[in-house]
A and B are shown apart, each in its own frame.
Chain A
């Protein structure tokens, strides 16, 4: 495995703060609508489907690879992906700690927090061993 890419620190704002704070405590949160019950991603204070108020709920961070692409023309190749969470939404993320050439759409993955350049815990995903 090549040296992992250094993940740049994310921009943050008051709307993102509760999420990234929880990530720093090892908790992965997914916003769920209190009115219609649907989960969405990326997190918003309102539900993009019905406009209802949302609540960050702790997630087990399980999902499958919806799609991915290995960026190769850089010093440290990396895997950009959409992971479909068990809660439903597909989130943009990085696939880490894996053999890029063994990845496949549909593969089971689980959450793996990785530190960004400034130490912020970033919600990345890694293949579940023995699962395709």
Chain B
């Protein structure tokens, strides 16, 4: 069986792209990741894409980049999609369906003035849940707000504990020149920022940015001829979780199903992971995910993230060392791509020296997509430096 490696990674430097098209952001990201790998567009024979481009988006973009494909996948599960794509690309390469896989993500919600967390989304009237929910105004921040309210009720989680997630992200972002928000913030500043939707404050919410990113995966024979450090996916899990016919538990995510699969595949314990990228759409997302990933017990997430435990060089679980979605970048309202890219930087030893984890040979990237408090996807990816 052919092995698959991540050989190229590129985060688009823009955070506001009024002068670029979405197609351009995809192509610039693709070219950046291919240049990083030492490959070109003509080497690509597998393409993985998701995004807000209805009606054959992957066909249009493949034609735009003039890709000659023998394998493609436009699975769209929201922000976790790029992590799912890496997993699917690994499977495709292992099965010989393609040799060089390209994964892209791009979008420009900031230029388009999208109120991602607070504005009503057009939604899709064909989704069977839409007639029962969209009128009540689930606009993202209030759905995650309900998760946080219930987590606080069940486990005594506090706003100060949630704030520590943002504080950790800001400590990392100060070292990232490309980050949208580079100022270090305190717990007090987070809890004193205006409430968006109870109990989430403005600084509990991720940024809205334009941009994108791309990854290139290749079959072992090709990967070993390239000059970049090799990163190998060794554990992959994915899951979708919904309301369970009305027996929804707002404190549990699909990560509780994707993570055990990934860890079992990798044959690793939680304590083996040196660095973790965990999707931070909101601070509460991280608290619930560290529990579901198994880094602490269910309900202990608030205590786990507090007191700098996620800060590289300070805490036990160095996390989102690029500044994450809370401070650095959240291109296309989808955090999965940047999660993988920073994990790859860490495994290559190419993170900023101030946040680089020493001897980082095993890392995890975890993402969610959709709304944690309604229905959502999760994908967990464990990687090793070869």
What's the minimum C-beta distance from A14 to chain B, rounded to whole angstroms? Answer: 11
- Give Cα distance in the complex from A85 to B194, angstroms: 32
- Taking a contact as CB atoms under 8 Å apart, the answer to whether B197 and A71 are in contact is yes
Which 10 A-B residue pairings sit nearest by Cβ, starting from the closest?
A89-B246, A69-B145, A42-B132, A40-B245, A48-B245, A41-B246, A11-B125, A67-B150, A67-B146, A69-B142
Which residues does chain A contribute within 8 Å of B146, judged by CB atoms?
A: 67-69, 80-82
Contact A5/B137 with A48-B245, A67-B250, A105-B149 known, Cβ cut-off 8 Å: yes
The complex places the Cα of A47 from the Cα of B153 at a distance, in Å, of 30
- Flag if B198 contacts A92 (CB, 8 Å): no
Shortest C-beta distance, B121 to chain A (Å), equals 12
Given contacts A7-B136, A92-B138, A105-B153, 10 further A-B pairs with CB under 8 A are A38-B245, A67-B146, A68-B198, A71-B145, A72-B197, A80-B138, A82-B146, A92-B136, A93-B136, A116-B135
Chain A interface SS verdict (over half)? loop
Q: Within the complex, what minimum Cβ distance (angstroms) separates B250 from chain A?
A: 5
Q: Could you show 13 A-B contacts with beta carbons less than 8 Å apart?
A: A5-B137, A42-B133, A42-B246, A47-B245, A48-B245, A67-B373, A69-B199, A69-B200, A70-B145, A70-B198, A80-B137, A85-B246, A90-B246
Flag if A72 contacts B195 (CB, 8 Å).
yes
Q: Which residues of B contact A106 (CB under 8 A)?
A: 153
B146-191, CB < 8 A from A: 146-150, 153
Contact status A66-B250, CB under 8 Å: yes
Please, what's the 1-or-0 string for B110-138, where 1 marks a CB less than 8 Å from any CB in chain A?
00000000101000010011111111111
Contacts of B120 in A (CB 8 A): 8
**Chain B residues whose CB sits within 8 angstroms of the CB of A92 once the complex forms:** 132-133, 136, 138, 374
Q: Is the CB of B196 within 8 A of A73?
A: yes
Judge if B247 is at the interface, Cβ distance under 8 Å: yes
